[in-house]
Amino acid sequence: MQQVSGKFQDGKRTVFDDLVVNTDGNVKLSNETKTGRGSYTTNQQRYRNGEPVTLTGKNSGDLKGTTISINDTPDRLSQVNLETGNVTKTTTKP
């Protein structure tokens, strides 16, 4: 699933570049892709720091209303070289 919105309890939102979902419909991994020296937005960092979000919006499909947390859904950051398109670094938390 791509470009999936999530909402924090305080109503603020974040967007996941990709969510990897298994055949049972469970989110197994969230992925953020950054180019150059890009970094997480404030709200992406909130998720990465452990604050759960509820999936919202049309791109969440059947998972709309599902709450996910980095405590049970790992987050991967993929750094991409803008010139070559190659992944230069990948980190996963936890």
Q: How confident is the model at residue 61 (pLDDT cuts 50, 70, 90)?
A: very high
* Interval 79-93 mean pLDDT: 88
Per-residue pLDDT at 94: 77
Per-residue pLDDT at 29: 92
Angstrom distance (rounded) from CA 89 to CA 10: 32
pLDDT per residue over 10-43, tens digit each? 999 999 999 999 988 889 999 999 987 788 899 9
Per-residue pLDDT at 59: 95
In angstroms, how far is the first alpha carbon of the chain from the final one? Answer: 21
Asked whether the beta carbons of 19 and 61 are under 8 A apart, the reply is: no
